[in-house]
A = this chain, B = another copy of it.
Amino acid sequence: MRKVKNKKKNTQADTNLTKIKEGGVKTTIIDYDETHYHEKVAENVQECFAYSESESVTWINVDGVQDPQLVKNLGMFFRLHPLLQDDIMNTDHRPKVDFYENNIFLVTRMLSFRQDIKQIETEQVCFVLGESYLLSFQEDKEGDVFDAVRLQLRSKPKGKLRNMGESYLFYVLLDTIVTSYVNVMEEIQEELEELEEKIMNEESIQQPTKKLYDLKRQLVLVRKAVRPLLDATSQLLKEEGKFLDSTNFYMRDLRDRISQVSEGVEIAIDTCKSLLDLHLNLTSKKTNDVMKVLTVMSAIFLPLSFIAGVYGMNFENMPELKIKSAYFYTQYGMAFIAVGLLGWFKLKKWI
């Protein structure tokens, strides 16, 4: 079951938080432009500030958002609106974009499909895009999907990524997230195809309906991440602010990809429904077949057994019993009835 766990946000509470930075939170600073590239893991948040003042692009990535003080400090330095700070720490948001005076705030969800439990796992990723800086916040501490981007930044000084500023970096990171949707959809569709083939061949599958139901649930989860992101991207495209002009074509391309995923999700959900309907039809067809066998068997043997029963009665005066060939005539009669009924069922196309 999907759960809309939006715990009451402490928007109106002045959060005099005393908790000190947890060890689990990891902050990575990357500062680069065409000519230089600097990367370090920050020990404390103040280290970040030094870089952001330069003209070069500063990308601060925070893994784990359990440290309100860190977010608060960053927020103070980059002048992030209190609501934006709350949104970063509340990891149950649906994807959305908010335009603040001096930055753009985007909430997205990264998806991954765990093969072992056939379940989608989802993680919130937020971005704050400002002038010459990009902040990214990942809910989960383990693993890092952005490593590939880092590698590219590091190794290709002549690449677009190094030369096109923070909004291109923003686009590339978003693209990474959309790729995660594509991958998840491929896994789900493989599952779906497998199920479909089994249902079509009427292989004795273990509870196909439950599996279908489960797949549909996973798809609803994907839709929940994709659909609002599509809206958000459209809003990004409409809002022709200073940050995004240079990457307009790229963002448009991204929106096309998202809408392709979104269409794929709808089709897959529809396929689930169709397969369930197909399965119901096939089951009712099978029940009908079983019923026919039962009816044919009963219809033939009930009258025959009745006849046998009649001549098994113990009345003293039953003239037939004394007729010499009565037994054989009875057998012929029985055979005749059986053949007649079989013919009738044949005619009705039951057998």
Do the beta carbons of B260 and A4 come within 8 Å of each other? Answer: yes
- Interface flags for A191-210 (1: CB within 8 Å of B; 0: not) read 01100100010001000011
Do the beta carbons of B313 and A2 come within 8 Å of each other? Answer: no
**Interface presence of A305 (CB below 8 A):** yes
Q: Which of B216, B303, B310 lies in contact with A274, CB distance below 8 A?
A: B216
Q: Once the chains are docked, how many angstroms separate the CA of A111 from the CA of B194?
A: 25
Do the beta carbons of A280 and B278 come within 8 Å of each other? Answer: no
Which residues of B lie under 8 Å from residue A263 when comparing CB positions? Answer: 4, 94, 224
How far in angstroms is the closest Cβ of chain B from A99? 10
Interface size counted on chain A using CB atoms at 8 A:
112
In the complex, besides A98-B249, A294-B299, A297-B303, 7 extra interface pairs with C-beta distance below 8 angstroms are A1-B192, A6-B261, A276-B277, A301-B302, A311-B314, A315-B320, A318-B327
Q: Which of B196, B216, B279, B311 lies in contact with A313, CB distance below 8 A?
A: B311
Do the beta carbons of A186 and B3 come within 8 Å of each other? Answer: yes
User: Which residues 244-278 of A have a CB within 8 angstroms of B?
Assistant: 249-250, 252-253, 256-257, 259-261, 263-264, 267-268, 270-271, 274-278
Binding site for B on A (CB under 8 A): 1-8, 11-14, 81, 83, 87, 93-94, 96, 98, 100, 152, 156, 158-161, 172, 175, 179, 182, 185-186, 189, 192-193, 196, 200, 204, 209-210, 213, 216-217, 220, 224, 249-250, 252-253, 256-257, 259-261, 263-264, 267-268, 270-271, 274-288, 290-295, 297-299, 301-306, 308-318, 320-322, 324-327, 330-331, 349-350
Which one of A2, A96, A200 has the greatest number of beta carbons of chain B within 10 Å? A2
Copies in the assembly, this chain: 5
Q: Which of B2, B193, B264 lies in contact with A189, CB distance below 8 A?
A: B2
Residue on B nearest A14 in the bound complex, by CB: B159
How far in angstroms is the closest Cβ of chain B from A67? 22
How far in angstroms is the closest Cβ of chain B from A228? 8
Q: Which of B182, B276, B286, B331 lies in contact with A6, CB distance below 8 A?
A: B182
Do the beta carbons of B299 and A299 come within 8 Å of each other? Answer: no
Do the beta carbons of A313 and B308 come within 8 Å of each other? Answer: yes
Chain A to chain B: the 9 pairs with minimum beta-carbon distance, closest first: A308-B309, A4-B264, A1-B193, A301-B302, A311-B313, A294-B295, A315-B327, A312-B312, A209-B281
Which residues of B lie under 8 Å from residue A278 when comparing CB positions? Answer: 209-210, 213, 276
Do the beta carbons of A209 and B282 come within 8 Å of each other? Answer: yes
Do the beta carbons of B309 and A316 come within 8 Å of each other? Answer: no
Q: Once the chains are docked, how many angstroms separate the CA of A313 from the CA of B311?
A: 5
Do the beta carbons of B94 and A260 come within 8 Å of each other? Answer: yes
Interface pairs (12), CB distance under 8 Å: A4-B189, A4-B264, A11-B172, A12-B159, A13-B152, A93-B256, A94-B260, A209-B282, A276-B277, A297-B298, A310-B331, A317-B324
